[in-house]
Structure 1
């Protein structure tokens, strides 16, 4: 890979193929690989004071493409805008560097997808607490004027303090008229967690689309499958638009609320505030600490790949996630309209983990 040059203050950012020499993004020393995929590589890094960070560095080939640079700038802007208690806060970034990068606080914990793979469906109590935490997170995100547009199990980090929503690579301001399609005409998103309007009326997508995704995420967490399950992303897309959600296996007391979240028309869905109010009515109180530190400890990796060990590919894999991760590799999980063209396979679309690759997957 070509040298990574920093244009800011601090040590010159360099990339070396061999091990044993320090590498930097800006003034942050890269220590090990958290994830590698479509848009870039995410590293565990340290600041001068020893603060642990997750730093995403865009692949060299993408840094030369204006569309990818624009998407990365958009991701940085959105992540900065929503930085708070329910996201991985942005510490620093240089989207104009020769190899663009962004640093966020490192958040230790698995994704909801990883947790589900190891532990199976969540208990009813955990589901209610997770739903309350995600509704609160969406309320916080929407208050900044941002629509996430790609909420799914692999974009939810679980911590003892509550869930954190990550990956703002395809988010945009709610008042923007920018089409969901990229310059190359690809519809970006993950079909089992996309709202009907994301397929039908891309320019009309607003906060209600994230509520639809929240409903799909909760069904997946409750049953291990999505409410619109199929081996084909195209069939999933048809079902999302035309068919009723399959809520078999969802706790009965949550079915009415999730049915409203999965309404075909955006105006028929509850707001995050209404979701939290309804959950409070179901129980006198709920503790949003659905997952204890001891439960999440099992996902902490004993060893990570040192810097220089990764073999990034152009269109497959996952770019890791802000704050953390328990694996150095994950397959791509966003659909781009190219079928199974990422070289990794797709698995069942209802799993929330394996999707056909896109032109750049973002996790910070």
Structure 2
């Protein structure tokens, strides 16, 4: 879509400033989509998302600024800087993602592109970013014929088939994100297969979650399995995910006041 720069306001506040590519700015359809993105993001505010600070969707180079979150993406954390997360961190991640989706869905939106690179790992908890393809539930979105909105491996069957989407698509994606954070592999993308293979697996095969007694086990595994149900009606609600996380997290958490992340990762963030 464009480039993101680190910016600083006159009073010192840091911001992530997204400028769209010039060739996209010249596309009226893209401008409409970008205008929706900014409008959607402005409607979402909460503990688990990045706030929109300012933007201009009608300038020669459209841009939007959001609060800067110092942290790593979950993708970078798992595959680069640290590795898979321990159980108590995973429960905090589940609670944070449920909180973010609650705020997003409460604003009448569906994110539609929740994935590890759109989750930032920060000291105060996980943050969901990039509402680039979020859409209002009650509005139609004009897209190019044949285009696919979303990321293979994190989209549920109904999104792949181009059917009407609801908040249940984000619940499916939440399940894939938790599985990735626990095992280091997206549940339908083991072996880095071609896109068409990933889509086939989502539509017709069961997710690969590792051995039942492996890193993803117990109540957390049960929750992920439910989130990855092929049918939207079979998935838990965001509120139910938050409830399960609150109930299960205390048994996995460390002493009160202890950071939610392992010490080496906390030290890097600090």
In 2: Cα distance, 1:185 partner to 1:289 partner? 45
The corresponding residue for 1:92 is 54
SS at match of 2:144: coil
TM-fit CA distance, 1:252: 2.7
Q: 1:170 to 1:232 in 2, by over 3 A?
A: same
The corresponding residue for 1:107 is 69
Q: 1:58 to 1:177 in 2, by over 3 A?
A: closer
Deviations along 1:209-230, one digit per CA (max 9) or x if unpaired, are 0000000001111111111124
Q: 1:170 to 1:268 in 2, by over 3 A?
A: same
Contact 1:159 1:291 in 2 (8 A): no
The corresponding residue for 2:6 is 44
Larger relative contact order, structure 1 or 2 (CA cutoff 8 Å, min sep 6):
1
Moved more, 244-253 or 142-151: 244-253
Deviations along 1:251-283, one digit per CA (max 9) or x if unpaired, are 233121111100011111001110121233335
Q: Which has the higher helix share?
A: 2
In 2: Cα distance, 1:279 partner to 1:188 partner? 29
The corresponding residue for 1:205 is 165
Q: 1:149 to 1:163 in 2, by over 3 A?
A: same
Deviations along 1:78-121, one digit per CA (max 9) or x if unpaired, are 11111332111111100000100111111111110111122111
The corresponding residue for 1:290 is 260
Say how many residue pairs are matched: 259
The corresponding residue for 1:76 is 38
SS at match of 2:72: coil
SS at match of 1:84: coil
SS at match of 1:278: helix
Moved more, 103-112 or 279-288: 279-288
In 2: Cα distance, 1:80 partner to 1:213 partner? 22
Q: 1:119 to 1:293 in 2, by over 3 A?
A: closer
Q: 1:274 to 1:99 in 2, by over 3 A?
A: same
In 2: Cα distance, 1:283 partner to 1:61 partner? 47
Q: 1:67 to 1:296 in 2, by over 3 A?
A: farther
The corresponding residue for 1:133 is 96
The corresponding residue for 1:119 is 82
Q: 1:228 to 1:111 in 2, by over 3 A?
A: same
Structure 1: where are the runs of 5+ without partners?
Answer: 1-38, 301-364
Structure 2: where are the runs of 5+ without partners?
Answer: none
Deviations along 1:113-135, one digit per CA (max 9) or x if unpaired, are 11112211111111111111111
